[in-house]
Amino acid sequence: MQVNLPREVFIVSDGTGITAETFSQSILAQFEISFRIIRKPFINTVEKATQVVDEINKVSNSKKILPVVFSTLVKPEINLKISQADCIIIDMFKNCISPLEKSLKLKSNHTIGLFHNNANTQSYKNRIHSINYSLAHDDGQASANLQNAEIVLVGVSRSGKTPTCLYLAVQFGMKTANYPLTPDELEKKELPDDLLKIKDKVYGLTIDPVRLSEIRHERLPNSKYATLQNCKFEVQKAEYLMKINKIEFLSVTNKSIEEVASTLLQKFNPEVISTKE
Amino acid sequence: MQVNLPREVFIVSDGTGITAETFSQSILAQFEISFRIIRKPFINTVEKATQVVDEINKVSNSKKILPVVFSTLVKPEINLKISQADCIIIDMFKNCISPLEKSLKLKSNHTIGLFHNNANTQSYKNRIHSINYSLAHDDGQASANLQNAEIVLVGVSRSGKTPTCLYLAVQFGMKTANYPLTPDELEKKELPDDLLKIKDKVYGLTIDPVRLSEIRHERLPNSKYATLQNCKFEVQKAEYLMKINKIEFLSVTNKSIEEVASTLLQKFNPEVISTKE
């Protein structure tokens, strides 16, 4: 019976633990188990580590089953403390950093918070700037002023433009904009002039009309806007408009934001240069 | 001299590669090297893997230095193909999944895309719903209607409320709202009634007035709004208002969005239950 109980999983990090949590979720998804994730960020002293060990041991004693601990701790003394807990420990940094040290013939820094503790760097400021830019250029706002955008998404209402744009801005610091194709534009089969000027940045999203109709019914139940007939009409016109204007597009129907974003990154930003500031 | 040239780093994934990229960036941050990340998502066939191997070998031959490859590939035959490239390979799944299989005495699924390929699950739909909610409740909009919010951030204009809210919505599917404290409210030293009703969800952000003045000058140069004197006044009043109303708050001055978000998650959402759908 115990197999169906959620397994306790601790994410122990000396930083935010956010990357560690995302990565461990993708690992846990490979196993047929339910789990309860307990976040333990900012464990940057031996004292805090000792408290976490106590908590892990308490779970271990009461549940009679070892909790799983994913740790990303760069300081050896903190790592040593956590490794003494009664648990299955997956030391993510050691598993990846040690082999890299050997191959690169370089020592790692063992410095806490190198990745996210960068709020004063130029690249961080650019990222915040991109989030503000993307908000200001959501849903066709300020469409006369898109020369600074890196990507401009077009598509019918509720085809997933806004979540994709925000994801790219928040996660990758990209300046995004999006423009909903209006019934007028669909009828004229023409992209607005503002978009024609920057056509190499324009990319289309489309969606299965049945799914679109469901989504629109959640937003405006029983409206003409949400009817399957109207959704079919708009999607067909939008795809036709994108084809004759040679705008590349993809269907988001069964895709997550991450999958759409990754496809867009491949086209618009396939590489990242990272230099030490 | 070669040490200063950026090292080529390939991220090879059978899914989006986004988690792999973020995790490998946090590992690479531990080394004093510059690098050029080349994204290779959706490598889900041996044919695609063969093309990537050719590309890796081309870099390896021309640069006379082995590229680093971070791989997260669950299919053994694809993994085998990539492992034949001339490179330093860090197999992230193998490094973490193999020890976990042994400890849990369970076999993993070796199924591609289990983590992100979930656009049709309820939890994914909730996440999209949360993004739309957070956009609709940004900057004091719809503030009479906050009972469904999980977190409501307050603070003066440009204290980081919007980026933090969007990050929590996009990354963690949390319904967030934010409310800018206006000069009127600061003067009266009172929270608006809409917020008093849901006080247990309200959290404050504050910021060093010097930094705030810089940020506001970027937005509205030479305005009264941006003067150091005005920023000092607003921050002082806002912190006083939060103290006397017993609203917990933190300073974002030297913190990244991730650090602020992680602190908020510890308070409002320290655990996650994940069950197989």
Nearest to B108 among A31, A118, A262 (CB): A31
Say yes or no for a CB contact (<8 Å) between B6 and A259: no
By CB atoms closer than 10 A (0-12, 13-18, 19+), residue B205 is: buried
How does residue B2 score in pLDDT terms, banded at 50, 70 and 90?
very low
Q: Has residue A18 got a pLDDT over 80?
A: yes
A194 vs B113 pLDDT, higher one = A194
Nearest to A271 among B39, B119, B124 (CB): B39
Nearest to A22 among B22, B36, B275 (CB): B22
In chain B the domains, ranked by start, together with CATH numbers, are 2-104 (3.40.50), 122-268 (3.40.50)
How does residue A88 score in pLDDT terms, banded at 50, 70 and 90?
very high
pLDDT value at residue A1: 39
Q: Has residue B117 got a pLDDT over 80?
A: no
Q: What average pLDDT does this structure show over A184-195?
A: 90
Q: Please give the single-letter amino acid code of residue B71.
A: S
Q: Which residues share a beta bridge with A250?
A: A205
pLDDT value at residue A178: 96
Q: Has residue A116 got a pLDDT over 60?
A: no
Q: Has residue A93 got a pLDDT over 90?
A: no
Q: Has residue B1 got a pLDDT over 80?
A: no
Q: Please give the single-letter amino acid code of residue B200.
A: D
pLDDT value at residue A115: 62
Beta strands A35-40; B271-274: pairing state:
antiparallel
Question: What does residue A79 show for φ and ψ, rounded to 5 degrees?
Answer: -55, -45
Question: What does residue B7 show for φ and ψ, rounded to 5 degrees?
Answer: -80, 135
B255/A contact by beta carbon, under 8 A: yes
Q: Which residues of A touch B95 (CB under 8 A)?
A: 92, 95-96, 99
Q: Has residue A2 got a pLDDT over 50?
A: no
Mapping DSSP to helix (H, G, I), strand (E, B) and coil, where does residue B204 land?
Answer: strand
pLDDT value at residue A113: 67
List the structure tokens of A163. Answer: 């979540």
Say yes or no for a CB contact (<8 Å) between B275 and A6: yes
How does residue B4 score in pLDDT terms, banded at 50, 70 and 90?
low
pLDDT value at residue B274: 78
Q: Which of residues 20-39 of B touch A (CB under 8 A)?
A: 20, 22-39
A240 vs B124 pLDDT, higher one = A240
Mapping DSSP to helix (H, G, I), strand (E, B) and coil, where does residue B140 land?
Answer: helix
Q: Which residues of B touch A106 (CB under 8 A)?
A: 31-33
User: Is the ipTM above a cut-off of 0.95?
Assistant: no
Q: Which residues of B touch A258 (CB under 8 A)?
A: 15-16, 18, 116
**A202/B138 Cα distance (integer angstroms):** 27
Q: Has residue B98 got a pLDDT over 60?
A: yes
Region of residue A42 (phi > 0: left; psi between -120 and 50: alpha; otherwise: beta)? left
Question: What does residue A217 show for φ and ψ, rounded to 5 degrees?
Answer: -65, -35
Q: Which of residues 183-222 of A touch B (CB under 8 A)?
A: none
pLDDT value at residue B124: 85
pLDDT value at residue B276: 67
User: Within 13 Å, how many C-alpha atoms sit on residue A205's CB side?
Assistant: 32
Nearest to B38 among A95, A97, A270 (CB): A270
The rounded mean pLDDT for chain B is 91
Say yes or no for a CB contact (<8 Å) between B117 and A256: yes
**How far is C-alpha B192 from the chain's CA centre?**
30
Residue B274: C-alpha distances to residues A7, A12, B115, B171 (Å): 10, 18, 12, 16
List the structure tokens of A149. Answer: 């955008």
Dump pLDDT digits (tens) for A152-173: 999 999 999 999 999 999 999 9
Dump pLDDT digits (tens) for B38-69: 999 999 999 999 999 999 999 999 988 899 99
B5/A contact by beta carbon, under 8 A: no
pLDDT value at residue A98: 87
Q: Which residues of A touch B99 (CB under 8 A)?
A: 90, 95
Q: Which of residues 91-110 of A touch B (CB under 8 A)?
A: 92-93, 95-97, 99-100, 103-104, 106, 108-110
Q: Which residue of A has its CA nearest to B254?
A: A119
Q: Which of residues 224-253 of B touch A (CB under 8 A)?
A: 252-253
Say yes or no for a CB contact (<8 Å) between B131 and A163: yes
Q: What average pLDDT does this structure show over B22-43?
A: 92
Q: Which residues of A touch B253 (CB under 8 A)?
A: 119
Say yes or no for a CB contact (<8 Å) between A114 and B30: yes
Q: Has residue B277 got a pLDDT over 80?
A: no
Dump pLDDT digits (tens) for B144-180: 889 999 999 999 999 999 999 999 999 999 999 999 9
Q: What average pLDDT does this structure show over B257-261?
A: 95
Chain B interface mutation, best of A256, A273, A277, highest count of B Cβ atoms under 10 Å? A256
How does residue B95 score in pLDDT terms, banded at 50, 70 and 90?
confident
Q: Has residue A25 got a pLDDT over 80?
A: yes
Helical residues (DSSP H) of chain B, grouped into ranges: 18-28, 46-63, 76-83, 92-104, 122-136, 161-172, 183-188, 193-196, 209-219, 228-244, 257-268
Mapping DSSP to helix (H, G, I), strand (E, B) and coil, where does residue A178 land?
Answer: strand
Nearest to B266 among A22, A41, A90 (CB): A41
Q: Has residue B206 got a pLDDT over 60?
A: yes
B121/A contact by beta carbon, under 8 A: no
Q: Which of residues 159-188 of A touch B (CB under 8 A)?
A: 162-163, 166-167, 170-171
Q: Which of these, A5, A17, A4, A12, lies nearest to A90 by C-alpha position?
A: A12
The rounded mean pLDDT for chain A is 91
**A152/A242 Cα distance (integer angstroms):** 13
